[in-house]
Amino acid sequence: MTEQAPEPYEPVDEDWQTALAVVAHPDDMEYGGAAAVARWTSQGKKVVYVMVTSGEAGIDSMDPAECGPLREAEQIASARVVGVETVEFLGHRDGVVEYGLPLRRDIARAVRRHRPDIVITSNFRDTYGGVFLNQADHIAVGRATLDGVRDAGNRWVFRELVDEGYEPWNGVRQIWAAASPESRHAVDTTEHFELGVASLAEHKAYLAGLGGAGGAMADPREFLEGFGRGAGSRLGTRFAVPFEVFPLG
């Protein structure tokens, strides 16, 4: 029996000016999304990064007190490669991020502060296509982003944000979850693939910490080529980044 080919991806809507990326860890944007960001900043769009944690629990051989500042610095350098000048860290504990009101409030505050058209997060499904289990922080942050974006538009949720000077923002048109197994859309990253590789390569300490145990994830080019080609084949391009798109009202 012949296996049915997956449905082609549709291009994402690129008629916007400002995006906010909310992810759990330094490196989450680089494992797939950074080349897309390079494309958008080259078009004159503004993209801001918000990291929920500082990735301080991500290197087994390094104490979190040393690891966190190092990974923040690597993320800032990585973001600059793809044209992102603003990187914020919310300070939640790496590895034990909890979905709940504090996280939703922090995300709603970031949305109100930056007032984006598009919000990007990472895959929050239980797996990556039914093979590899997702990580708990990714799931918590992605789900909280869906809710925090809507909270940002409601004056009567987290009323203290208004007291802080953050008026409601209902201008987010879509939320995009990168690398979701439920993706139906994608963006062509062929011309910006090399910048995506260079951006991931800035996470030097993290990649060194992965070492041989990290497999393809420890080799920026090998990982991103495999990931990008698979998505590109469904978009009709050489390389692409897939997204699950959630339209808002």
Q: What is the CATH number of the domain that holds 150?
A: 3.40.50.10320
Residue ranges making up the domain that contains 53: 18-247
Please give the helix or strand (H or E) that residue 127 lies within, else none: strand 127-128
CB 118 within 8 Å of CB 14:
no
CA-based nearest residue to 203, from 217, 186, 187 = 217
Considering its fold, how many domains does the chain have in total?
1
pLDDT of residue 223: 86
What gap in Å lies between CA 217 and CA 222, rounded to an integer?
A: 8
Query: Does the residue 31 lie in any domain?
Result: yes
Mean pLDDT of the chain: 94
Once rounded to an integer, what is the mean pLDDT over residues 209-228?
77
Helices (H), the chain: 34-42, 64-81, 101-114, 136-152, 160-163, 193-201, 204-210, 220-235
Does residue 120 carry a pLDDT above 90?
yes
Reported as a pLDDT band with limits 50, 70 and 90, residue 69 is very high
Assess if residue 4 is contained within a domain: no
How far is Cα 99 from Cα 102, in angstroms, rounded to an integer? 8
Instruction: Look at residue 213 and tell me whether its pLDDT is greater than 60.
Output: no
CB neighbours of 91 closer than 8 A, spacing ≥ 6? 53, 54
Closest to 83 measured CA to CA, from 11, 34, 15: 34
Does some domain include residue 146?
yes
User: Which band of pLDDT confidence, cut at 50, 70 and 90, is reported for residue 210?
Assistant: confident
Please compute the mean of the pLDDT values over residues 148-168 and round it to a whole number. 98
Residue 65 burial (10 A CB sphere; 0-12, 13-18, 19+): exposed
Q: Is residue 12 part of a domain?
A: no
Q: Report helix, strand or coil for 22.
A: strand
Q: Is residue 54 part of a domain?
A: yes
> What pLDDT sits at residue 130?
74
- Residue 3: pLDDT band (50, 70, 90) is low
Main-chain dihedrals φ then ψ at residue 214, nearest 5 degrees: -80, -10
| pLDDT for the residue 132 | 86
Alpha carbon 43 to its chain centroid, in Å, reads 19
| Cα–Cα distance measured from residue 174 to residue 248, given in angstroms and rounded to the nearest whole number | 5
Residue 6 lies in a domain: no
The 10s digit of each residue's pLDDT in 14-48 is 999 999 999 999 999 999 799 999 999 999 999 99
And the tokens for 105?
């409030």
pLDDT number for residue 5: 76
Map residue 194 onto helix, strand or coil.
helix
Looking at the chain, the whole-number percentage of residues with pLDDT higher than 90 is: 88
Section 67-81 average pLDDT: 98
**Residue 154 scores a pLDDT above 60:** yes
Mean pLDDT of 152-158: 97
Share of the chain above pLDDT 70, in %: 96
What's the pLDDT score for residue 249? Answer: 76
pLDDT at 175 (0 to 100): 98
For 150-172, the DSSP string reads: HHHT-TTSSTHHHHTT-------
- Is the pLDDT at 211 greater than 80? The verdict is no
Range in 83-97, 156-170, 198-212 with the lowest mean pLDDT = 198-212
For the cut 80, the answer to whether the pLDDT of residue 217 exceeds it is no
Residue 55 has pLDDT above 80, yes or no: yes
Q: What is the pLDDT of residue 215?
A: 53
CB 36 within 8 A of CB 189: yes
Residue 178 lies in a domain: yes
Domain-embedded: residue 81: yes
